[in-house]
Structure 1
């Protein structure tokens, strides 16, 4: 089984040579260094073995019957599954042309026969180190790609969430503005600071903006009788909410109308009263 600890002697190597004696010599040499070694005595056999279990490095002879080393290497480089496996050519062909062709078909290195054991070991270790670094780079790139994809998914989810929140806020705003009953938020002292158009019209204004512009009127409690505010607070203390509290209130023209309101206190996490929010409708005038 392939491992990433190439620098400690681990790593799988495939030797491809039609001369069994050459395979045996290289196998013994590399096994002494702790490598996992297997051999193949033909190009076709090598390709089948590589497809089933790709090695970390391939030592490949050039002069073989039926399918030479150049053809084997070229086939490997055309296959996405095997194209990253480094191939070290080992051949008695020592002509410059042969070496150039070896690199042209995708070879990573070249060792001439008869080879020196130290040279073979050094070139194998070098290719294993390069293969390890390339593998780690691919893994890192794959991880970064996955992280980028996850980040994009998070961004898209947040974008959809923001869009949903904006749609919900717009829907709430429309409901607030277009409600058939008056809606308000008031300070803990009972002074309205946010109202919808319906509530503003109950108090004789054209709309909420018109009322809020009248600083003198909207910054004081609208109740005609101070006892109404006391009854409001008593219900909050005894029930936790205000339900159907009937009160007389002043309109902008100093006329008086009767309202029925329900409200609830809104508190912070530590229990501090922040404001009241309530609903109001105007009761018909009795003749």
Structure 2
């Protein structure tokens, strides 16, 4: 099962995104701040969704910490931000979501990263898990979801 770490300090947003991901067949784990997020990243999730403005450690600090360790450096990292998009773009993360964001945007960003070939460094290459729902972005655009969170994703 594909494991996604959601690092978000807003409880409502975090819990809504976790519920959305779990309803789509992902193993979803939440962290309420960057410090906890880094600790959970050590469990090597398949993808990280991270807010930028958070207590303890912000998303940029989390990104730097994750990228600095060989075991976690290849984990796809998607920033979710309402106000720091320019700075996030400078860091060359794997993806970016501008808050407020829709379910379709979240699932599309995840699908894009999970469909990419694995990293070329075999020493740190993760085994690809194909148990995630296939054609996720297409399915997401054709389904109405009770998890529409466009208004919830704003800070």
TM-score over 0.5 for the pair: yes
In the alignment, does 2:6 pair up with 1:32? Answer: no
In structure 2, the gaps of 5 or more residues are: 126-155
Q: Map 1:34-183 onto structure 2 (within 5 A).
A: 34-51=25-42, 53-93=43-83, 98-130=84-116, 133-135=117-119, 137-139=120-122
SS of aligned partner of 1:60:
strand
Q: How many residues align?
A: 124
TM-score normalised by length of structure 2: 0.73
Q: Which segments of 5 or more consecutive residues in structure 1 lack a partner in the other structure?
A: 1-9, 143-287
Contact 1:62 1:91 in 2 (8 A): yes
String of CA shifts for 1:167-209, please: whole Å, max 9, x gaps: xxxxxxxxxxxxxxxxxxxxxxxxxxxxxxxxxxxxxxxxxxx
The DSSP-based 3-state class of the residue aligned with 1:46 is: helix
Change (3 A) 1:112 1:60: same
Structure with more of its chain in strand, by fraction: 1
Structure 1 residue aligned with 2:13: 22
How does the TM-score come out when normalised to structure 1?
Answer: 0.41
**1:138 CA displacement:** 4.2
CA contact (8 A) 1:62 1:89 kept: yes
> Relative contact order, CA 8 A, sep 6+: which one is greater?
2
Q: Deviations over 1:203-251 (max 9, x none)?
A: xxxxxxxxxxxxxxxxxxxxxxxxxxxxxxxxxxxxxxxxxxxxxxxxx
**Mapped partners of 1:34, 1:79: distance in 2:** 28
> CA RMSD, aligned part only?
1.8
SS of the residue corresponding to residue 29 of structure 2 reads strand
1:74 Cα deviation after fit:
1.1
- Structure 1 window deviating more from structure 2 (100-109 vs 11-20): it is 100-109
Displaced runs of 4+ in structure 1, greater than 6 A? none
